[in-house]
Amino acid sequence: MTIPIYAYIVVAVILLLAVGLGINHIRQRRLIHRLQELAHSLEESKKQIIHEQEHNRQLKQEMTSNISHELKTPVSSIRGYLEILLGDKPVDEDKRKFFLERCYSQTLRLSDLINDVSLINKLEESSDLFPKERLSVDDIADEAVMELEEAAHTHGITVGNMLPKPMNIVGNHSLVYCIFRNLLENSISYAGDGSEVTIECYRKDDERYYIHFYDTGRGVDNKYLPKLFDRFLRIDDGRSRKNGGTGLGLSIVKHAVLFHGGEIYVRNREGGGLEFFFSLNKR
C-alpha cells in the first residue's frame, strides 16, 4: 500500500514541532535558571548592602561614643580649673598661672580632636572636596621633618629622609603632609628616646611609589597590630593622654593613603621598632 505524500508531510511537521518544543523547553529551563541566579545575586547584594549599612551605623555610633568619651577629660579639666579660679578662695599668682596654662593646654587638645574628627569625616563622606595637584612627595616629607625637628631633638631622635628627588605624584598636599607628620609624631611619642627614624622608597613602577617608614624603637605588642589604624586606639591610655594624642593620627594616615589609591600595612621590625609600608599612586 502506497502511503500518501501528505502523511510524510504531517509526520515531518510533527517532528519539527516536537523538536521546536524540546528546544523551547530547554531555553525556558535555561531562562528560569538564569532568573533564579539573578534573584539569588540580588538577594545577596541586598544582604551585603544591609550588612554594610549596619556596619557603618555601628562605626558611627562607636565613633560618637568615643568622641564623647574623649571630650569629657579636657572639658572636665577646664571646668575644674576655672571653678577654682572663679571661686571664693584666693589663688596665689603661681597657681593662677599654672591653672591657666593647663586650661590652654586642654583647649589645644580639644581643637586638635575637633580638627582630626572633621578631617576623617570629610575623607569618608566627601573625599571629592579635596583638590589634587602635582606634588613633590620628598619635599612634603622634608616639611614634616623640619616641622617636628625640635620635638625629635628633645627625645634624641634622628630622622633621615632618604626619598629620591624628584618624587612627583598628583594628589592633595595637606593629606600627604598628614601621612608623614602623623607617622613622625607616632614615632617621636612612642618609639623611645634615642631611636632612629628612616623614610625611604624601596620600589617604584609605572603606577606607584612604594614607601618604607620605620623606627628603631620598642615596637608594639603583636596583638595590637591589626587594630593599629583603628580610631581612638590607646595601647597605653595614660601615656597616650600625657603625650597629647587624639588617638586618630594613624587612622588619618590610612584614610589619606587610601585617598591616593594606595595601601598600607604595619608590622614590628626585626631588631626592634615599628615599620610601615605604604604606596601612593603617581597619577
pLDDT at 75: 85
Q: Is the separation of the CB atoms in 273 and 225 below 8 Å?
A: no
In a domain, 91, yes or no: no
pLDDT at 239: 45
Which sign, positive or negative, has the C-alpha torsion 54, 60, 66, 68? negative
In a domain, 85, yes or no: no
In a domain, 200, yes or no: yes
CATH number at residue 212: 3.30.565.10
How does DSSP assign 190-247, residue by residue?
HT-TT-EEEEEEEEE-SSEEEEEEEESS----GGGGGGTTSTT--SSHHHHHHTT--S
Rounded distance between C-alpha atoms, residue 255 and residue 145, angstroms? 21
Radius of gyration, alpha carbons of the chain: 31
Q: Can you give the residue range of the structural domain that contains 134?
A: 130-281
Domain count of the chain? 1
pLDDT at 262: 93
Q: What is the pLDDT along the chain (283 residues), one digit of tens a residue?
A: 555 666 656 666 666 676 667 777 677 777 777 877 877 787 887 887 777 777 666 666 666 666 676 777 788 888 988 888 888 888 888 888 998 998 888 888 888 788 888 888 888 787 788 889 999 999 999 999 999 999 999 999 999 999 998 899 999 999 999 999 999 999 999 999 999 999 999 999 999 999 999 999 988 888 888 888 887 776 654 444 455 566 788 989 999 999 999 999 999 999 889 999 999 999 8
In a domain, 115, yes or no: no
Which grid coordinates are listed for 125?
563622606
The Cβ-side half-sphere exposure at 159, using a 13 Å CA radius, reads 28
In a domain, 109, yes or no: no
In a domain, 82, yes or no: no
pLDDT at 135: 92
Reduced to 3 states (helix: H, G, I; strand: E, B; else coil), residue 61 is helix
The Cβ-side half-sphere exposure at 186, using a 13 Å CA radius, reads 30
In a domain, 217, yes or no: yes
Q: pTM higher than 0.85 for the full model?
A: no
Which grid coordinates are listed for 73?
577629660
Q: Is the separation of the CB atoms in 256 and 179 below 8 Å?
A: yes
pLDDT at 241: 47
In a domain, 105, yes or no: no
Which grid coordinates are listed for 266?
604595619
